[in-house]
Structure 1
Amino acid sequence: MTAATASLPLTPALASPRALAARDPWAMVPSLGNLDAYISAANRLPLLTPEEELRFATRLREHNDLEAASRLVLSHLRLVVSISRQYLGYGLPHGDLIQEGNVGLMKAVKRFDPGQGVRLVSYALHWIKAEIHEYILKNWRLVKVATTKAQRKLFFNLRSMKRDFKNGAADADVHRQSLSSAEIDLVAAQLNVKREEVIEMETRMAGGEVALDPTPDDGEDAFGPITYLADEREEPSRLIESKRRDALAGDGIARALESLDPRSRRIVESRWLQVKDDGSGGLTLHDLAAEYGVSAERIRQIEVAAMKKMRAALAVEAA
């Protein structure tokens, strides 16, 4: 029973239903915390005759009589229990389904107009199912699977239709078996939805959910998608490293070159930072040897010494 239902002023004897059950069946309010006891007690509550229902509904509508509202709600608790059983296949607690259905029942009682000439049971069906449907859609999956009218229609009918197609197969087997092309067309025609929507909903309902980040209960070897979904380019330490590398490649190298003598700088720039007119690399050791009138080995020695000095300068920049 929901907290909202429990708040209604039913009778003073509600605290001890067994003691008063014999002389007042309306005192048999279900016990909280025990679902079987609740269902058993709800099924023992008496139904209202059409005359009693009309009288209580009129009292509620014209005089806001909460005692009348209580009688209308309690007499239909078994209806909520019956409807909630139809949705046990979604893996949600039966007690929660009943609770949501009770919320829908109370909404129906509040809005019920006895002057329309229909029984409350017919009117309440819509409200009870609407609340249960909304609860299932919010809690069946972390990711909402049905948002449009067509998707909701498919969500609450596709399971039973697949079971009919597969001749009463178990729920788990039904999910694993895909609809054939002819079955997809049949579902689309019966529910008046697009064929593509049937395929999409079947895929959504067949898919499972995986935790992005494994919990400690999953064990030390657990592996979550967050491991390979992370964008390493945005990882803070990598961003800092990248910025530092860019700085060294720009201003850092320029300052390192300034630490060299003119000849050493000329050799490094000609060898590594300049391109010939034909698009090829910089000057060769022999080209520079001819320019300075020394051997190619001497140019190589100067280059090695210059590069060593530049690396030291860059290390200071990075520190």
Structure 2
Amino acid sequence: MGTSLQTVEVLAPGQNLNAYMQAVNSFSVLTAEEEKQLAEDLYYREDLEAARRLVMSHLRFVVHIARSYAGYGLSQGDLIQEGNVGLMKAVKRFNPEKGVRLVSFAVHWVKAEMHEFILRNWRIVKVATTKAQRKLFFNLRGQKKRLGWLNNVEAEAVAADLNVDVKNVREMESRLSAYDASFDAGADEDDDTAFQAPANYLEDRRYDPSTMLEKADWTENSLAGLEGAMAQLDDRSRDILQQRWLNDGKATLHDLADKYGVSAERIRQLEKNAMKKMRVFMEA
């Protein structure tokens, strides 16, 4: 969908939101007849000027929806811009023969883009990934009547209203109440509080010399034990385990059955017995 320079500027609100809102409110609201004619021009004749006018006349509608999500602490400008993307998608897909106004059709697309933006940016760690969790995330914030935690009666009422389990309500409430913490201490923190930063107690011990030495020693002992146990098996059992478990290209039961002229079931039995013997040898 092509847009003029003016359209691009209006679709991307800058820091001065008041100026942006004055700009979008200056576009006239379309009558039902005007909207239908423009929608038909776009739908049947791919008239990009008609698409531009449909988008511009509904920008105030996006601003109105963005205001309802002010409680998430995200930039209104960013929310509006994401909503405008949804509006353009709706205009592109709008069918004038369905008998509904564009505003009714576009609300789903506008909210969907805003929801996706909120879920991507509200927390570093995702609070909702499945469709059911997303529905609970947005509805629970609207259901909570106070800042404190829900009591049992309130939680059960929310669960019944949203048709979910109470435990799901409690889990989402916990996610909503969590906050992001900085890994490092802030520059303005003193010695009495800086120690609380995760960087000071979430130590990465993977490369600690003693840990690395312990792992290397355990690996060496395990390999020595494995070699010693393998040496006590008969040649056929040792070969079966070698080809079934230790080689890069693992042999199948049928491959070994052909090699030794027995059935695949017999190879499976020999493998099982060899594994039992290995366990006894390595535990001794």
Same fold (TM over 0.5): yes
Q: Contact 1:92/1:140 (CA < 8 Å) preserved in 2? A: yes
Deviations 1:64-107 (A, max 9, x none): 11110110000000000000000010000000000000000000
| Residue number among 82, 99, 113 corresponding to 1:117 in the alignment | 99
Equivalent residue, structure 1, for 2:3: 8
Equivalent residue, structure 1, for 2:199: 226
How far, CA to CA, are the matches of 2:15 and 2:161 in structure 1?
41
Deviations 1:21-79 (A, max 9, x none): xxxxxxx9997442110012212211101111111111111121111011000000000
Taking a change above 3 Å as real, the CA distance of residues 202 and 31 of structure 1, as seen in their structure-2 partners, is closer
Equivalent residue, structure 2, for 1:131: 113
Structure-1-length-normalised TM-score: 0.61
How far, CA to CA, are the matches of 1:72 and 1:238 in structure 2?
68
Aligned residues: 214
For structure 1, the 5+ residue unaligned runs are 18-27, 167-173, 247-319
Within the alignment, does 1:195 sit opposite 2:190 as a pair? no
Runs of 4+ in 1 over 4 A off after TM superposition: 28-33, 239-246
User: RMSD of the alignment, in Å?
Assistant: 2.7
Structure-2-length-normalised TM-score: 0.68
| Residue number among 15, 20, 39 corresponding to 1:38 in the alignment | 20
Report 1:166-315 matches (<5 A): 166=146, 174=147, 177-214=148-185, 217-219=187-189, 221=191, 222-223=194-195, 224-232=197-205, 234-239=206-211
Taking a change above 3 Å as real, the CA distance of residues 238 and 75 of structure 1, as seen in their structure-2 partners, is same
Rg comparison, structure with higher value: 1
Shift of 1:155: 1.0
Within the alignment, does 1:149 sit opposite 2:131 as a pair? yes
Q: Contact 2:42/2:48 (CA < 8 Å) preserved in 1? A: yes
For structure 2, the 5+ residue unaligned runs are 219-284
How far, CA to CA, are the matches of 1:101 and 1:29 in structure 2?
9
Q: Contact 1:30/1:42 (CA < 8 Å) preserved in 2? A: no
SS in 1 for 2:179: coil
Taking a change above 3 Å as real, the CA distance of residues 61 and 245 of structure 1, as seen in their structure-2 partners, is closer
Identity of aligned residues (%): 53
